[in-house]
């Protein structure tokens, strides 16, 4: 790489496809973590104009890089990046939206059906050789005659809704404002939505405005036949309230692809028979993670070629 190429820092893990693509356009500096103050001398820090990351990026990190122009974050959720502080310093933040919409929606439908029809338990039943001696018990729950509420009718929420429509189920949603062109019933609060449905799917970003919004009141409104699915961010849920609701039958069952403190699953969650937990695999296929890596790298390339990023966050 020529000396005149911009320098891009990769703090911590990065997808190999992104690293290869970035290596053909930029001088790369790699560190094992975000402690750039301790890891890099001042002249190297001053040379860094871009960051490609999947780690927490806080004020201290941003302040350590005086000539930083762009932070390209891997994933659609960018709650790990202090985007407001970056904006205040005229640093662009990009994420990787859209390329993962259908993949996350596929996983959501799979998780919903798994929870309701007990697919993981039925699989374990066969594996354990129990089919030879007994029939698997009928599932207490069914998807039939349910109404599905979607908390967050954004890019992924709309892809989930299309799949729910194909299941023949009515849909309602809550976001802070009705979405133009979306025909499903709109509710102006999460609590009202929860009262009106018996499946609630959360697909909102993790940030202070959504923190612990799925709380005891919302779960109680969902009701004893209620099923809760979370494929957005774990911070959206009051996990203590969810555990209690599942333990006491306030709701019937839940499926989580995300928890608040990944990968540390609370023991109280693991003990619940009516909770299915996945290890945050919504977008986790080889093809889609490569597409996300590609978009991350193309954001940095576009920025340094034209001064405009492809997918800056709002």
Residues forming contacts to ligand A2R in the complex (CB under 6 A) are 76-77, 97, 152-157, 175-177, 203-206, 209-210, 232-233
Q: Which is nearer to ligand A2R, 32 or 208 (CB)?
A: 208
Cα pseudo-dihedral 181, 184, 188, 191, rounded to 10? -150
Is 233 in the active site?
yes
What are phi and psi for residue 70, nearest 5 degrees?
Answer: -150, 140
Instruction: Name the residue nearer to ligand A2R (CB basis): 114 or 210.
Output: 210
Q: Catalytic residue among 49, 54, 233, 298, which?
A: 233
* Minimal distance, residue 4 CB to ligand A2R, in Å: 36
At its nearest, how many Å lie between ligand A2R and the CB of residue 64?
Answer: 26
Question: Among residues 6 and 157, whose Cβ is nearest to ligand A2R?
Answer: 157
Instruction: Name the minimum Å distance from CB 268 to ligand A2R.
Output: 24
Query: Smaller CB distance to ligand A2R: residue 72 or 76?
Result: 76
Taking the least distance from each CB to ligand A2R, the nearer of 73 and 274 is 73
Instruction: Find the shortest distance in angstroms from Cβ 228 to ligand A2R.
Output: 16
Minimal distance, residue 184 CB to ligand A2R, in Å: 12
DSSP E strands: which ranges in the chain? 7-11, 27-31, 48-53, 70-73, 92-94, 148-151, 171-174, 185-186, 199-202, 227-230, 253-256, 275-277
Nearest distance, CB of residue 263 and ligand A2R, angstroms: 17
- CA–CA separation, 173 vs 165, rounded Å? 13
Count the alpha carbons within 13 Å of 43 in the hemisphere toward its beta carbon. 0
R_g over Cα of the chain:
22
Of 59, 123, 165, 262, catalytic: 262
Question: Can 280 be counted among the known catalytic residues?
Answer: yes
| CA–CA gap between residue 314 and residue 310 (Å, rounded) | 12
Residue 226 CA to residue 274 CA, distance in Å, equals 11
Residue closest to ligand A2R, measured at CB:
154
Rounded to whole angstroms, how far apart are CA atoms 3 and 284? 36
Residue 176: Cβ within 10 Å count: 9
Calpha distance 108→151 (Å, rounded): 13
Q: Alpha carbon of 126 to those of 119, 122, 132, 217, 275: distances in Å? A: 11, 7, 8, 38, 20
Does the annotation mark 177 as catalytic?
no
Distance CA 11, CA 56 (A): 10
Dihedral over alpha carbons 9, 12, 13, 15 (to 10 degrees): 0
Give whichever of 206 and 255 is closer to ligand A2R, judged by the CB atom: 206
The set of catalytic residues is: 233, 262, 280
């Amino acid at each position: 790489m020529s000396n005149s190429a911009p320098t891009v820092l990769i703090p911590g893990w990065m997808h190999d496809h992104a690293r290869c693509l970035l290596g053909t356009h930029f001088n790369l500096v790699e560190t094992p973590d975000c402690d750039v103050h301790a890891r890099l001398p001042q002249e190297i820090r001053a040379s860094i104009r871009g960051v490609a990351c999947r780690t927490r990026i806080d004020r201290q990190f941003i302040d350590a890089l005086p000539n930083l122009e762009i932070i390209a974050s891997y994933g659609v959720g960018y709650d790990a990046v202090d985007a407001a502080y970056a904006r205040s310093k005229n640093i662009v933040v990009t994420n990787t939206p859209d390329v993962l919409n259908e993949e996350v929606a596929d996983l959501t439908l799979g998780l919903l059906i798994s929870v309701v029809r007990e697919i993981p338990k039925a699989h374990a039943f066969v594996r354990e050789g129990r089919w030879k001696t007994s029939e698997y018990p009928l599932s207490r729950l069914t998807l039939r005659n349910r109404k599905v509420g979607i908390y967050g009718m954004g890019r992924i929420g709309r892809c989930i809704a299309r799949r729910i429509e194909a299941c023949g189920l009515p849909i309602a949603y809550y976001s802070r404002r009705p979405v133009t062109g979306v025909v499903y019933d709109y509710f102006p609060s999460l609590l009202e939505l929860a009262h009106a449905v018996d499946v609630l799917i959360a697909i909102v970003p993790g940030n202070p405005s959504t923190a612990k919004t799925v709380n005891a009141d919302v779960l109680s409104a969902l009701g004893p036949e209620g099923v809760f699915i979370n494929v957005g961010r774990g911070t959206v849920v009051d996990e203590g309230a969810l555990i209690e609701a599942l333990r006491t039958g306030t709701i019937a069952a839940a499926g989580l692809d995300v928890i608040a403190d990944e990968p540390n699953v609370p023991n109280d969650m693991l003990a619940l028979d009516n909770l299915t937990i996945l290890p945050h695999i919504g977008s986790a296929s080889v093809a889609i993670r490569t597409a996300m890596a590609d978009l991350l790298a193309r954001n940095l390339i576009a920025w340094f070629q034209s001064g405009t990023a492809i997918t800056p966050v709002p």
